[in-house]
Amino acid sequence: MRLSRLSRTMLGAVAGLILVLVYVPLLVVLVNSFSTSTSLSWPPPGFTLEWWRRAFASAGAMEAVQTSVVVALISTAIALVLGTLISFALQRFDFFGRQTVNLLVILPIALPGIITGIALNNFFRTIMGIPLSIWTVVIAHATFCIVTVFNNVIARLRRTGTKLEEASADLGAGVWTTFRLVTFPQLRSALLAGGLLAFALSFDEIIVTTFTAGSGVTTLPIFILNNMFRPSQAPIVAVIAVVLVLVSIIPIYLAQRLSGDEQQRR
Amino acid sequence: MTDQQPAIRLTGLTKEFGAVTAVDHVDLEIGAGEFFSMLGPSGSGKTTVLRLIAGFEQPTDGTIELFGDDVTRRAPFDRDVNTVFQDYALFPHMNVLDNVAYGLRVRGIGKAERNERARRALASVRLEQMADRKPAQLSGGQRQRVALARATVVQPKVLLLDEPLGALDLKLREQMQVELKQIQRDLGITFIFVTHDQEEALTLSDRVAVFNNGRIEQLGTPAELYERPASRFVADFVGTSNLFDDRVSQALLGRGGVHSVRPEKMTVGAGETGAGIRNAPGTVAETIYLGSGIRLVVDLDAGVRVSVLEQNDRNRTHDEDRGDRVVVSWHDDDVIALGGADAAAPAPAA
């Protein structure tokens, strides 16, 4: 596309401004995690690793990390199994209401978290009579984690078709052997990409978590929220925020590289 | 299983997709060791018959027997037939050796033996150096040969080939045709070859079934199909034909019905004499130089356009030009009767 010099400069400036607005605050958090000032005053009067040491020594913070990792891992695992199964059902079989089911599967990611949160809270406590716990959080997270797995897997299934499975069956492989040796290897990178995204989504989720977590279940985002306005804890919160950003960014970066590689190979 | 049993016997085979009947009561026997082709335009049902034999589709009606065994309801992995797919369907995540060894692997054959047998199969298609490559690193012709090695290494009783040469360029096609024929002779197994290329079918096959609208229009050796087409469709689809409808037949042959004459059975000149010779005057509409021959398109005064194939040999003394008045001659023995007067106006031969 040809653009005039002026519009190119303007576009560049706007894009730069947006990136600055998005990333400078994050950078400030990173710098603050090393600041000697407890009130996060700017510019930082000095630098120290004290907060990082304290954060790693804080039992509450470490427990929150552990809870978040457990929740993210289990809901991702559930999403991988269910998301893959739904993808197969919707891609390989034609049945009444297929389009509707497709929409219903994707919907949870578009629904406002607060609606999902209230609905699930209500459902668990009043209808099912289940006390809120870490498992209710896992189930709640799985509802939207399924979507990322589903989207990745169904796109892959659409592209690969059934030719390879036919070839495998033709050569004498039964259904399970075909899945293990042909279908699964074809899906592997799609599952990895979908799983990493699901993990990242779950790891920093706060709204649905607030409504579905039992007392004493503190994920990392909830820990931050609880401690943010305690002046003495502010730098530790900054440290945890940095960790949270890193843990969320790495899977997304990997997932993107994976799908990028796929596209380049074709 | 005896030698008397045909390799494949189809009885009343029918496949409907919704309201469309893709295969319509096909009865067919294919002998052991035969190179058999199913020829037809796209949508004629030939590929569906192949997929029914492979087991990828379930017939609506009818049975499929493999050496006397009814395999109609068996899953694809439970049938002793293998397929070479149109787009090869090689497993992209496996190297060439693992692709070829796949059928042996799923049969539980140990790694050493299956790799040994896969290497031998690769050697038979002259690709042993490519064993460690991925399919994406091969050319179309090489992929084609890997697909062939992968399907034959498990020693099927019948090999199904679904337009396997369709994606190759002309030179490679001709080369692969010779190779296919050789491989089939070496292995001694039945080949069922699906193609829409009539020349390929005639070149390779012991027998050919011409498909049209889900039915077999004619079944016979290549020579039978070419020399004695049973219907107007076959005459038109297999090779080039000059078709005379009822009116033209009356004028040129003195009898009704639909007839056809092959272009190479006609000559252009000043007219010939002799028993059974027919002469028809006309005007040259087009001359096409083919190298080994010359194709002349002539508008006969009887109201039909014919195509004449003349050899470019040393007997050829002069070239006709467009607009020249000529006489087209042929022998009555070369006229093929195609039945009643029901056919419409003849298609222009070109």
pLDDT in tens, A116-163: 999 999 999 998 888 888 999 999 999 999 999 999 999 999 988 889
Q: What is the mean pLDDT of residues A221-233?
A: 81
Are A100 and A123 in contact by the 8 Å Cβ rule? The answer is no
| Of the partner residues A170, A181, A185, the one whose CB lies closest to the CB of residue B76 | A170
Tell me what the pLDDT averaged over chain B comes to. Answer: 89
- Of all residues in chain A, the percent with pLDDT exceeding 70 is 96
Residues of chain A contacting residue B55, judged by C-beta atoms under 8 Å apart:
169-170
Q: Which value does ipTM take for this structure?
A: 0.80
A173–B102 CB contact, under 8 Å: yes
Residue B187 confidence (pLDDT) above 90: no
pLDDT > 70 in chain B, percent: 95
Which of A100-114, A219-233, B64-78, B249-263 is least confident? A219-233
pLDDT at res. B126:
86
* Average pLDDT of the segment spanning B128-141: 91
Which secondary-structure segment (H or E) carries B277? Answer: strand B277-289
In a 3-state reduction of DSSP, which class is residue A199?
helix
Q: Each residue of A201-230: b (16+ CB within 10 Å) or e?
A: bbbbbeebbbbbbeeebbbbbbbbeebeee
Residue A157 to chain B, least CA–CA distance (Å): 15
> Which range has the worst mean pLDDT, A163-177, B12-26, B88-102, B171-185?
B171-185
Torsion angle of C-alpha atoms A148, A154, A156, A159, degrees rounded to 10: -150
Task: Write the CA distances from A169 to A177, A179, A183, A265, B72, integer angstroms.
Answer: 9, 10, 12, 26, 16
CB contact under 8 A, A172 and B154: yes
Lowest mean pLDDT among A38-42, B20-24, B188-192: A38-42
Q: Which tens digits make up the pLDDT trace of A115-129?
A: 999 999 999 999 888
Interacting residues of B149 by C-beta distance below 8 A, sequence separation 6+? B100, B118, B121, B122, B124, B125, B127
Residues of A (227-266) whose Cβ lies below 8 Å from B? 265
Radius of gyration of chain A (CA): 23
What domains lie within chain A, and their CATH numbers?
26-265 (1.10.3720.10)
Q: What is the mean pLDDT of residues B5-24?
A: 93
| Closest Cα in chain A to B160 | A170
The pLDDT value recorded for residue A1 is 66
DSSP class of residue B150 equals H
- Provide CB contacts within 8 A for B217, sequence distance 6+: B40, B210, B211, B230, B231, B233, B234
| Residues contacting B343, CB < 8 A, separation 6+ | B232, B243, B245, B246, B258
pLDDT of residue B342: 47
Distance separating alpha carbons of residues B140 and B123, to the nearest angstrom: 18
In this structure, which amino acid lies at residue B299? D
For residue B349, the model assigns a pLDDT of 42
Residues of chain A positioned with their CB less than 8 A from the CB of B92: 164, 186
Q: Which residues contact A122 (CB under 8 A, 6 or more apart)?
A: none
Tell me: pLDDT of A264 over 70: no
Partnered with residue A149 across adjacent β-strands are none
**Which of B167, B34, B155 shows the shortest CA–CA distance to B90?**
B167
pLDDT of residue B312: 84
Structure tokens at B68: 């006397």
Average pLDDT over residues B17-22: 91
pTM summary value: 0.78
Flag if A177 and B93 touch (Cβ within 8 Å).
no
Work out the average pLDDT over A78-100: 92
In this predicted structure, which of B57-66, B198-207, B307-316 has the lowest mean pLDDT?
A: B307-316
Nearest chain A residue (CA) to B137: A265
Residue B38 has pLDDT above 60, yes or no: yes
CB contact (8 A) between residue A164 and residue B150 = no
Cβ contacts below 8 Å, chain A against chain B, sum to: 63
On the question of pLDDT at A263 being above 60, the answer is no
Q: What is the mean pLDDT of residues B100-112?
A: 93
At residue B26, does pLDDT exceed 90? yes
